[in-house]
Structure 1
């Protein structure tokens, strides 16, 4: 069980670093909102986080 928890923590930290490297502070904010909304079972907060991430991935519409 501790091995699974350790691997899970390493994966989460690695994913957060990847998002921050690629999308900056707004990427971390979107990921944080999505995570908090999911854990708190708040559709409004998780939707805001998903929207932020979707806008960052879509990029500027020129």
Structure 2
């Protein structure tokens, strides 16, 4: 399972740059520590990156 998370994080970072890596990092840390604020911050950052070209 950790290998899959690493691969997904690398793919996001490759496509969306450092901001995507930070978003994935915040999301994964928030889920592991059960911190809603951290997970939400990561999810919002990733959502903004994904919706950026549309907006």
TM-score, reference length from structure 1: 0.77
Residue matched to 1:15 = 8
Unaligned runs of 5+ in 2: none
TM-score, reference length from structure 2: 0.85
Distance 2:2 2:34 in 1: 22
Q: RMSD between aligned alpha carbons? A: 1.2
Distance 2:17 2:43 in 1: 15
Distance 1:46 1:35 in 2: 7
Unaligned runs of 5+ in 1: 1-7
Alignment map for 1:42-53 (pairs within 5 Å):
42-53=35-46
Is 1:36 aligned to 2:35, yes or no? no
User: Of 34, 37, 49, which aligns to 1:56?
Assistant: 49
Which of the two has higher C-alpha Rg? Answer: 1
